[in-house]
Amino acid sequence: MAVIPLLTPHKIGKFDLSHRMVLAPLTRQRSYGNVPQPHAIIYYSQRATNGGLLITEATGVSDTAQGYMDTPGIWTKEHVEAWKPIVKAVHDKGAVFFCQLWHVGRVSNTSFQPNGQDPISPSNKPLTSQLLVSGEEAKFSPPHRLGIEEIPRIVNDFRIAARNAMEAGFDGVEIHGAHGYLIEQFMKDSVNDRTDEYGGSIENRCRFAREVVEAMIDEVGHERVGMRLSPFSNLMECYDSNPNDLGMYMARTLSKYNLMHLHVVEPRMVVVEGRMNTQHNLRPMREAFGGIFIAAGGYNRRKGTRWSRKVTRTWLLWAIVFG
Give the active site residues: 181
Judged by DSSP in three states, 203 sits in helix
Q: Do the beta carbons of residue 294 and residue 263 sit within 8 Å?
A: yes
- What residue ranges in 213-252 does DSSP mark as E strands? 225-229
Q: Do the beta carbons of residue 25 and residue 55 sit within 8 Å?
A: yes
Q: Give the Å distances, CA to CA, from 203 to 155, 188, 206, 208, 270.
A: 17, 11, 5, 10, 24
Pairwise CA distance, residues 301 & 110, whole Å: 41
Contacts of 314 (CB under 8 A, 6+ apart): none
Contacts of 6 (CB under 8 A, 6+ apart): 19, 20, 21, 304, 305, 308, 319, 320
Residue 118 CB-half CA count within 13 A:
15
Pairwise CA distance, residues 135 & 127, whole Å: 18
Q: Kindly state the DSSP code that residue 207 receives in the 8-state scheme.
A: H
Q: Give the Å distances, CA to CA, from 310 to 4, 22, 23, 295.
A: 11, 19, 21, 14
Alpha helix stretches (DSSP H) within 226-270: 243-257
Q: Do the beta carbons of residue 294 and residue 319 sit within 8 Å?
A: yes
Strands 15-17 and 10-12: antiparallel
Q: Kindly state the DSSP code that residue 223 receives in the 8-state scheme.
A: G
